[in-house]
Amino acid sequence: MKYDFTGKIAMITGAASGLGRATALLFAELGAKVVVSDIAVEGGEETVKMIREKGGESIFIECNVANEEAVCELVAQTVQHFGRLDFGINNAGVGGMWMASHKYPLDNFEKVLATNTTGVYLCMREELKVMLRQGSGVIINVASMAGLLGFPNNLAYSASKHAVVGMTKTAALEYAKRKIRVNAVCPVYTITPMVEEMFEVIGDFKDKLETSIPMKRFGQAQEVADAVVWLCSDAASFITGHALPIDGGLQAG
């Protein structure tokens, strides 16, 4: 099914590559005007270029989501430029270290939570303010299967993504009567630059991870983008507070 987002405004963090880029391109293909945001300026501008080359409308706004002032400015500039915000896709994230919990260093733990948890909180807070004023909106937080299941040897990442799921459910309950829906997507290992970096660290363990997935393969960024767009569409108008596994059957096991 194809959705028509003509006249809608989508803001996507972490859109310089991977899931964020795939989602930005799909929103633009379906008619939305897209705000691309990332700390990676070159990659973010490349995403905008890709959208414009296909006839879409997009701007790039640099933002470190762990910085409160930067997030406030991101949302303010979005509204200033486009007049509203219909879809807030909070995707920016970092992977953390691959290490046993008793060895996990505090500085990396705090760094991961600053981006993955505080970043989502700040984006949601500012998006909600706009959506409350305009009387509608949809927020999608990109969590992970590590937000639903244990994730051995990556304590910070698992903690941060469990927090994202909790914030999603809380906000969904708070704003359900205000025509604002809040959901999360929880992908399993998906082929993105961040995951490929993790594969380099874990080496041969990559094969064991792949065989642990019932469908015997990793996810693709486009598959996650498709789920995000569906959750933003009217086809999902009665869905809020849901953490959607995109996992090739992993959770069923």
Catalytic residues: 157
Three-state secondary-structure class, residue 47: helix
**Angle at alpha carbon of residue 59, lines to 57 and 61, rounded to 5°:** 160
| DSSP symbol at 9 | E
User: DSSP alpha helices (H): ranges in 135-241?
Assistant: 155-175, 193-202, 205-212, 221-232
Residues 6 or more apart whose CB falls under 8 angstroms from that of 46 comprise 16
Query: In whole angstroms, what is the distance from residue 183 CA to residue 179 CA?
Result: 13
Query: In whole angstroms, what is the distance from residue 113 CA to residue 40 CA?
Result: 19
Query: In whole angstroms, what is the distance from residue 41 CA to residue 142 CA?
Result: 21
Query: In whole angstroms, what is the distance from residue 176 CA to residue 7 CA?
Result: 23
**Cβ of 198: how many Cβ atoms within 10 Å?**
20
Three-state secondary-structure class, residue 29: helix
